[in-house]
Structure 1
Amino acid sequence: MHHLTLRGRTYCVRFIIPKDRWFDVGKATGSTTGRRRDIVRTLGTQCRFEALRRRDAAISAICNHLNQVLQEADMEPLGSGWIPQWSSDASNGELPLATANKACVRPSSADAIMTKTPKRRALERWQRQEEPECLGVLLTRWHRELDGQVTNELLDRHRLSLRYLGEFLLGQETGDPMAHVLSLRLSDVTKREVSGFREWMIQTKGIQPVTAGFRLSCLKSFWDWSSDAGLMDGPNPWQGAARGLKRRAEKTLKPNGEKRPFTEAELLALLSADPQTNRNGKWGPAIHDIFRLGLLTGARQNELASLTVGRVIHSERPDVLWGIRVTADVGKTKSALRQIPLHPIARAIVERRLKALPHGIGQDALLFPECVPGGRDEKHGHYLSKRFATFRQAILGKDSPTDFHSTRRCFATFMATALANGVSECSELVRDHLIGHKPMALGSNTYAAKDLGWDLYCRAVLGMVEKGIPEAVREAV
């Protein structure tokens, strides 16, 4: 791909002008900016091998044309203009004896450096610079830098966004969209193509505005990183590409509506059903226990599915609640690192799970060993999410706008109900601490203590179950 680039689906040749001649060539060719860094001309082919055969002739034609324009502007042509005595343009066409005797004598590096002017050395350094790397190489570097900071699932979404871009650029042509887009350079994607890509996703591909905005955001992040790394001189073509999509998405009616908490009737139906009878097999007991723990703790699905013996907080005092600990290896965000008290109903589930484990088990043993890890990030809640969806849809139907995350919505609803019923401990700040969210108010997230004390959290959980959960649901749990 050296000196080759793609414009759409057609190969072009790129002639790089030496840095010290940018302004000369720009003035001679009438550039609006006063300088010209390169010349790009089409090769009239979509075949890479044919483009390689045509490349040298195109470079020679561009160079000859530039030299002619420079001479007409009374400027020196590109290159030094030096002609060796042994070339066909020499007078006698024979190699002089003095030159022949010295042909095999290589000057020392010190002599070579002394004979070069600073301007000449700068020019050679510029000419030795490699072509800008293709997107495939840059993507590997970017993902290597993001390794450990984001999930593998998010990295896969970045690749999918690039694949969609390649599919758009290829159009009706055959070929691998991912291979095509990874062979491009950053400058090959223009603002016009970005605008066309947005329209193509929504109108041709039928992608929802929210998803289209996410695809555009992924690509913008990639170009932002490239710009911060000094690999791109111009503005980011993806800047502002997702503008207006969020408002457009708000006006688009979703088939199932917004996700919401379970209603009391739905909770009673789920709590009274046997998960093992709905094509879930061995997952029935895990769904039975984790669903109830989700309602009573507000913890995320993966936080509960990956619960280990060492993360259970024991208490020898009868008036102090047990608890569970969410650690950094399973916490979604920094705010997710927390300790959650266990109501006696939830404690009974955890104790039963601890007693079922083999004797002498280690601290890393899972309370739910049936929740094997899966997915790109090897999360323990991966397969549980699928099995719970099967159970939920069998009871509530496929059109119900709920999921396992609705247990957290229920927990927040129970806290708000208990607060309205006089349990002052169930405040918004305590609720945010228990469910692992960063408080929205500046005074709460900046100045208030990050830990309000175990006793306060215990009173909040006890008050939530007593005053926030409907009596029929509490009995079913």
Structure 2
Amino acid sequence: MPKKDADVFGLKRAASGLWSARLSIPRDRWQDVGLAYGTKSGIRQEFLKSLQTHDRQEAIRRRGPALDALRSQVNEKLAAIGKPALEGDWKVQSVVEQAVADALSAKEEIEKASTVPVITRDANGQVMEELPATDQEHLKNVATGLAEDVAQGLPDAKGHLYLTTYMETLAGTATPLGPLLDRWELERDRSVSKASRAMDTAAFNHFAGYLAEHDSQRQGGSITDPMKHLRAKGLERLEPRVLGGFTEWLLDSAGLTAKTVGSRVSPLKMFWDWCIRKHIISGPNPWDGATRGLKQQAARQGNGKPKRREFSEDELLALLQTDPDAGKRWAWGQAIRDLMPLALLTGARENELCSLTVDKVVQLSGAELLGIAVLEEDAKTASSIRRVPLHPL
């Protein structure tokens, strides 16, 4: 028999008719949660919290706070054993984000359901053809009904926005990028350095600028906030033909070098890979092969440049003695001037020096010299986490 609507989408109904909130644990976190709660099986798949009502509409209204409470309890247990929180502490913040979150959860349940036809007969043995033929079709009907109930409980404009976003996301035709980027960025924050996150930001800023320029030309209007425009775009509606023009735009319109273009495309490819892993979209990744040929272009661009060499003594003295405000006042002139002796006497990278704060200045054990500490959050690689002594000069 098809699953009942009571068993999916954040709700569960007991035989008595009493509703409960149902927090489903993602499959890849079953073992973490099982360890946190010390279950005999070593896994935990779900949690229930009674909503103290027999009315479905009232259960839907109470579902959100109950799920938040359950998630907070689980996250406290996970934190106690040093494990990351569920959903990366991501919280729904708007009607659109709520709709996307609910639709993606429903979509996951639907995809797990059977596609085998189910024949249902009435009391007279006649086939009930008006009923959904498969579990998946049944769950799609359930998902639509629940979404309509939620929308009815919202003001008209918000209800319409919720239902439209929900149905488009469920159908896989227009999942807004904004909520997905928020979730992806929180996961990235847990696994990569600040320097890598800065590269992500630069990549999506350029991508937002490219889409804003492309859509402005196509629509005949002007887009004043490219990032807001990007976040509202439907993921599935980004045409491969449009994506394919991004590298060309970076080289020609943005004037970036081939090497830098590769660093702008890489975060986009990783984001699309994440969306595929989360079953938000299906493969293949449209960015596969997007950087092909860039290495050859970078090498060709490098052939015409002067070969890198050491500064001469006179050149070093000129750099270190020049007044950054002479002739023209530069906003960052003094800061750049201060970086040069620090770089010369420590060998630290630019981002490591730019993130230097008082608490990262250390007294090295057994030495009179001061040094600077490069912490994990600023290090480019694991081997970059170190203490750098200052030169005696």
TM class by shorter chain equals 0.3 to 0.5
TM-score of the two chains, using structure 2 as the length reference: 0.47
**Greater Rg, structure 1 or structure 2?**
1
TM-score of the two chains, using structure 1 as the length reference: 0.39
